[in-house]
Amino acid sequence: MRIALLGFGSVGRGIARVILAKDLDITVTGIADSKSGIIDAAGIDLAAALARKENGGPCGNAGVTPADVVAKADYDVLVEVTPTNVDDGEPALGHIRAALRRRKHVVTSNKGPIALAYPELRALAEENGVFLKYEATVCGAIPLIHAMQEGLAGNTISRLYGVFNGTCNYILTRMAAEGLTYEQALAEARELGYAEADPTYDVEGIDAAIKLVILANTILDMRTGLDSVERTGISLLTPDALQLAEDQDCTIRLIGEIVPEAGVLRVSPRIIAKTHPLVVEGTLNAVTVETDLAGDLTFIGKGAGSTETASAVIGDLLYIQSRHVQGS
Amino acid sequence: MKLEMKDQPGQLVAALKPISAVGGNIIAVIHQREATTPAEALDVQIVLELPEGRLENLLELLREQGVSVVRIGEERLLYECTLIMIGHLMHTDISDTVDRIDRTGSAEVTELSLVMPAINSPSSARITIRSTTRPEMKKAIRLLREVAQQKELLIVEPLEDA
């Protein structure tokens, strides 16, 4: 199977490393990052591209753009792993459309296009007889979308809730464990690389809300948008509040919640018993799905990280490979 | 509730059995032997907790056992919900906040723990509300959310009560 890779940041490089390390029958024929690109139908030397990038250089040639790779490279699957833009999903959205129109399968970790334009992209994929897979957009390594679409097919999901943002979970874990203020815990999360310089996207619950929208639109058939999510972040929480929860053997977590029947989409800090399976430590994610046939299921795992996200992307790739791509 | 039963062996057990049958929890049984009622009858007072909507079922089972219910006391507040409030709780009149819940008549604040770190820093409080029924609890929480919005307070709700 031949793939083209858009985005050569930590996720893109994580994927390249897995392809190098494992015999997956995957050849990379195009790579582009924001500054350069490379196209080679015979297969790109991934080790060399990784080395260039790790030495601070470009991944390819300055004249080659992501649009060139999408339009000209010879591939079966476009792997789109560029950073998320939640305003209009671009430029990723345009690249995904172009690839689908070329009858290429698409695997993406990019939340923007899926949250903003899933119905359109799905229709486009169906029209062209190709797959659009996006497991890595929600909860990194946890195969939540696959589990709900395949493993739990036939179940009616009455409620879905959990910890969708590792940065917030880390901050709350540290506030509870050490009595840190929100600001102190955030500073620590930044130092460890868990939080961005501008942490708004995480701490105000936007990231979790986008993931809810993706699940609501793609699995629960809710046709909703980011504006429909009732959202409260964690930036106003105090160490005292966590202590008051602690006094009752509880703690506080930022919980994303969907109740399809009632149309509820909500991200908010919630009091939760410390023995609850969703009370996970550090940057972990955890999601409980309430179903009619299978009962309650809780998934716990790493929500971010280059290898963990690569795991979800590779899973999608091999799903497509095993079903619809012949040869390599 | 106050029950009246025949003063015969096994009658008390017959009266208590249906309570567990409907999923109730007996908190206290006051069994008065002094005859204040006609000779062959016996008064028993029972305090119990019942899941919502099971009272009718229980009364029917008691009748089948030949136990007559003389009186049903006031329903106590059984639904409990603990929330945390963060913000300028004193400056925004916390007794008014509590009052607004209490004034509903169907829910009341039964516990309040307040932490005030410094004059100008936001304070945090844990507040416990009790209500008679689940819908009344939902109403009380909705009311608290409205108050919080007016007073710019952050409310942290429990996970269970969606």
Residue A294 confidence (pLDDT) above 90: yes
A240 in contact with chain B, both atoms CB, cutoff 8 A: yes
Q: What is residue A328's predicted lDDT score, i.e. its pLDDT?
A: 43
Compare CB distances from A241 to B82, B156, B162 and report the shortest one's residue.
B156
Q: In chain B, what residues touch A248 (CB-CB under 8 Å)?
A: 82, 126
Q: What is residue B20's predicted lDDT score, i.e. its pLDDT?
A: 84
Residue A35 annotated in active site: no
CB contact (8 A) between residue A252 and residue B156: yes
Residue B138 confidence (pLDDT) above 70: yes
Model confidence band, residue A227 (pLDDT cutoffs 50, 70, 90) = very high
Print burial letters for B137-147: b (CB count within 10 Å at least 16), e (below 16).
bbbbbebbeeb
Model confidence band, residue B37 (pLDDT cutoffs 50, 70, 90) = low
Q: How far is CA A140 from the centre of its chain?
A: 5
> In sequence order, which residues have a C-beta less than 8 Å from that of residue B162 and are 6 or more positions away?
A159, A161, A257, A259, A264
Task: Dump pLDDT digits (tens) for A297-323.
Answer: 999 999 989 999 999 999 999 999 998
Q: Tell me whether strands A157-163 and A250-259 are parallel, antiparallel or unpaired.
A: antiparallel
A277 in contact with chain B, both atoms CB, cutoff 8 A: no
Radius of gyration of chain B (CA): 22
Q: Which helix (H) or strand (E) holds B45?
A: strand B41-49
What distance in Å separates the CA atoms of residue A266 and residue A224, rounded to the nearest whole number?
12
| Mean pLDDT within B63-80 | 76
Model confidence band, residue B5 (pLDDT cutoffs 50, 70, 90) = confident
CATH class of the domain comprising B79-156: alpha beta
Model confidence band, residue B41 (pLDDT cutoffs 50, 70, 90) = confident
What CATH number is given for B2-71 in this structure? Answer: 3.30.70.260
Strand, helix or coil for residue B136 = helix
CB contact (8 A) between residue A238 and residue B156: no
Q: What is residue A323's predicted lDDT score, i.e. its pLDDT?
A: 86
Q: Which of A175, A230, A244 to mutate to test the interface with B (most CBs of B within 10 A)?
A: A244
Task: Dump pLDDT digits (tens) for A228-282.
Answer: 999 999 999 999 999 999 999 999 999 999 999 999 999 999 999 999 999 999 9
Catalytic residue (choose from A53, A111, A133, A211)? A211
Distance from CA of A272 to the nearest CA of B (A): 6
A181 in contact with chain B, both atoms CB, cutoff 8 A: no
For residue A152, CA distances in Å to A28, A53, A143, A293, A296 come to: 33, 41, 12, 9, 11
Q: In chain B, what residues touch A270 (CB-CB under 8 Å)?
A: 156-159
Distance from CA of A83 to the nearest CA of B (A): 32
Task: Dump pLDDT digits (tens) for A19-71.
Answer: 999 999 999 999 999 999 999 999 999 999 999 999 988 989 999 999 999 99
Q: In chain B, what residues touch A255 (CB-CB under 8 Å)?
A: 159
Residue B157 confidence (pLDDT) above 50: yes
CB contact (8 A) between residue B86 and residue A241: yes
Please determine whether the domains at B2-71 and B79-156 fall in the same fold group of CATH.
yes
CB contact (8 A) between residue A270 and residue B87: no
Higher-pLDDT residue of B74 and A247 is A247
Distance from CA of B135 to the nearest CA of A (A): 15
Q: Which of B129, B152, B159 to mutate to test the interface with A (most CBs of A within 10 A)?
A: B159
Q: Is-contact A163 A252, C-beta < 8 A?
A: no
Q: Tell me whether strands A230-231 and A264-273 are parallel, antiparallel or unpaired.
A: parallel
Average pLDDT, chain A: 95
Residue A213 confidence (pLDDT) above 90: yes
Distance from CA of A218 to the nearest CA of B (A): 23
Structure tokens at A249: 């053997």
Q: Where are the domains of chain B?
A: 2-71, 79-156
Which residues of chain A form beta strands (DSSP E)?
2-6, 27-32, 37-39, 77-80, 105-108, 132-133, 157-163, 230-231, 250-259, 264-273, 284-291, 296-302
Q: In chain B, what residues touch A259 (CB-CB under 8 Å)?
A: 162
Q: What is residue B74's predicted lDDT score, i.e. its pLDDT?
A: 66
Q: Which amino acid is at A317?
A: L
A257 in contact with chain B, both atoms CB, cutoff 8 A: yes
Q: What is residue A9's predicted lDDT score, i.e. its pLDDT?
A: 93
Residue B35 confidence (pLDDT) above 60: no
Higher-pLDDT residue of B70 and A77 is A77
CB contact (8 A) between residue A245 and residue B83: no
CB contact (8 A) between residue A244 and residue B159: no
| Mean pLDDT within A217-238 | 95
Residue B68 confidence (pLDDT) above 90: no
Structure tokens at A267: 């991200």
Q: Which amino acid is at B147?
A: V
Residue B78 confidence (pLDDT) above 70: yes
Q: Which of A265, A271, A274, A296 to mutate to test the interface with B (most CBs of B within 10 A)?
A: A271
Model confidence band, residue B162 (pLDDT cutoffs 50, 70, 90) = very low
> In sequence order, which residues have a C-beta less than 8 Å from that of residue B54 and are 6 or more positions away?
B22, B23, B24
Name the packing angle between helices A92-101 and A111-127 (round to 10°). 10
Q: In chain A, what residues touch B151 (CB-CB under 8 Å)?
A: none
Q: Which amino acid is at A211?
A: K
What distance in Å separates the CA atoms of residue A96 and residue A67, rounded to the nearest whole number?
10
Model confidence band, residue B33 (pLDDT cutoffs 50, 70, 90) = low
Distance from CA of A238 to the nearest CA of B (A): 7
Distance from CA of A308 to the nearest CA of B (A): 28
In chain B, the N- to C-terminal Cα span, in Å, equals: 33
Q: What is residue A325's predicted lDDT score, i.e. its pLDDT?
A: 62
**Residue A264: phi, psi to the nearest 5?**
-85, 125
Q: In chain A, what residues touch B123 (CB-CB under 8 Å)?
A: 240
Task: Dump pLDDT digits (tens) for A137-162.
Answer: 999 999 999 999 999 999 999 999 99
0.80 surpassed by pTM: yes
Q: In chain A, what residues touch B126 (CB-CB under 8 Å)?
A: 244-245, 247-248
Q: What is residue B23's predicted lDDT score, i.e. its pLDDT?
A: 84
Model confidence band, residue B15 (pLDDT cutoffs 50, 70, 90) = confident
